[in-house]
């Protein structure tokens, strides 16, 4: 169990004395502000939070939060966080990583962290570009985009982080937007409460090297038509007039208008984030304009024994009826003999 604070904490308890060096207007600022708001709400002792990051703009995050923190090497945050969590299961471990850090150089660690259902919270800052190295395409950059290393347009097919998480047996995946802090805070609280690997993809804007990359879904003017905010147990309704919804037609999702063609609210698909079946979750993660809205909020939150639970259970079992209780026992076990 992670020990709670006996006193009420505020965001000031987590503010660091370091100068924040992200570019003015960077989406990272609002993600930081959200996290500083979320930690006091979660309520653990300050010393029990541990932030881990790799390399990239987003990976500077640990310096700006006054907790224990580890700014490591490119792509390896997941592996380092794994060692921290196995070593001390009573810590609340948070990973900050970008699209390149998590899914290019760190891709292997990312999928295996998720596969194991390690108990960590993973904030994936997706700005679809390498920012710190000044504008090369990343594994999530759109096909065709001109960047410094793709002067003729990107020919790689991009990863969709949600597909990767769910495909790696992820138990928790959510999506949020940097400039909608209220919903970001809600999603982060939800992820902290989930046992297992919780990944939130934050659509984050890089003002310098990829400005407006998410604009088609995040701009104020289009938001309501292009964002579907999921709530467990509620129908998947969106749109300025709350008249559009998602239905399952055969094996595919489809956008319908309530009140047209005999469609009523009852026909709209109701979100079940807890189901083991990944089918609808995967389809929700894949939705994107122009034919669909993009799904936000918690897409999947399936309960399954975590690495910590399984690991600690084995440890306890082994220690319960152990014949070898200390190293002296071990050294003297098996075939031994005395030389006089």
CA distance 75 to 109: 8
**Taking CB under 8 A as the criterion, which residues in 14-33 touch other proteins?**
16, 18
Q: According to the binding rule CB under 8 A, does residue 11 interact with other proteins?
A: no
**Taking CB under 8 A as the criterion, which residues in 60-99 touch other proteins?**
62-63, 66-73, 76, 78-88, 90-91
Per CB under 8 A, the list member of 50, 57, 228, 294 interacting with other proteins is 50
Cβ count near 37 (within 10 Å): 18
- Given the complex with other proteins, which of 78 and 283 has the nearer CB atom? 78
Q: According to the binding rule CB under 8 A, does residue 291 interact with other proteins?
A: no
Do 290 and 317 meet the contact criterion of CB atoms below 8 Å apart?
no
Per CB under 8 A, the list member of 11, 29, 46, 142 interacting with other proteins is 46
Cβ within 8 Å of residue 90, ≥6 positions away: 1, 2, 3, 48
Q: According to the binding rule CB under 8 A, does residue 7 interact with other proteins?
A: no
Type and span of the H or E element at 300: strand 294-301
Cβ within 8 Å of residue 25, ≥6 positions away: 205, 207
- Residue 180's φ and ψ, nearest 5 degrees, are -125, 70
- Least distance to other proteins, CB of residue 316, Å: 9
Q: 188: which DSSP letter? A: H
- Strands 172-177 and 294-301 turn out to be antiparallel
CA distance 206 to 23: 9
Here's the x/- map for other proteins, 175-204, by CB under 8 A: it reads as ------------------------------
Q: According to the binding rule CB under 8 A, does residue 143 interact with other proteins?
A: no
Q: According to the binding rule CB under 8 A, does residue 112 interact with other proteins?
A: yes
Residues near other proteins (CB under 8 A): 16, 18, 45-48, 50-52, 55, 62-63, 66-73, 76, 78-88, 90-91, 108-109, 112, 311, 314-315, 318-319, 322-328, 330-332, 334-340
């Amino acid at each position: 169990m992670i020990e709670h604070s006996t006193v009420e904490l505020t965001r000031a308890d987590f503010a660091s004395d370091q100068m924040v060096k992200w570019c003015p207007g960077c989406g990272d600022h609002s993600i930081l502000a959200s996290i500083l708001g979320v930690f006091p709400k979660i309520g653990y002792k300050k010393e029990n939070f541990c932030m881990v990051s790799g390399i990239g703009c987003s990976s500077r995050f640990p310096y700006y939060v006054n907790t224990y923190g580890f700014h490591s090497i490119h792509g390896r945050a997941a592996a380092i966080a794994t060692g921290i969590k196995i070593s001390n299961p009573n810590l609340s471990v948070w990973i900050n990583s970008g699209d390149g850090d998590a899914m290019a150089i760190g891709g292997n660690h990312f999928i295996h962290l998720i596969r194991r259902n390690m108990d960590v919270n993973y904030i994936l800052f997706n700005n679809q570009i390498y920012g710190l190295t000044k504008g090369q395409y990343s594994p999530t950059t759109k096909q065709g985009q001109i960047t410094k290393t793709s002067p003729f347009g990107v020919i790689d097919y991009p990863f969709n982080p949600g597909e990767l998480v769910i495909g790696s047996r992820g138990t928790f995946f959510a999506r949020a937007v940097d400039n909608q802090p209220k919903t970001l805070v809600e999603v982060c609280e939800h992820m902290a409460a989930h046992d297992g690997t919780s990944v939130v993809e934050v659509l984050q804007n890089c003002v310098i090297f990829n400005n407006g990359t998410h604009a088609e879904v995040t701009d104020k003017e289009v938001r309501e038509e292009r964002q579907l905010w999921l709530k467990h147990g509620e129908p998947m309704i969106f749109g300025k007039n709350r008249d559009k919804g998602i239905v399952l037609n055969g094996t595919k999702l489809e956008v319908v208008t309530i009140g047209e063609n005999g469609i009523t609210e009852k026909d709209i698909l109701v979100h079940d984030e807890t189901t083991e079946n990944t089918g609808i979750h995967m389809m929700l993660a894949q939705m994107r304009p122009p034919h669909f809205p993009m799904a936000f909020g918690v897409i999947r939150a399936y309960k399954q024994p975590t690495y910590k639970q399984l690991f600690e259970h084995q440890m306890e079992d082994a220690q319960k009826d152990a014949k070898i209780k200390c190293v002296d026992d071990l050294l003297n076990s098996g075939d031994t003999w005395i030389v006089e």
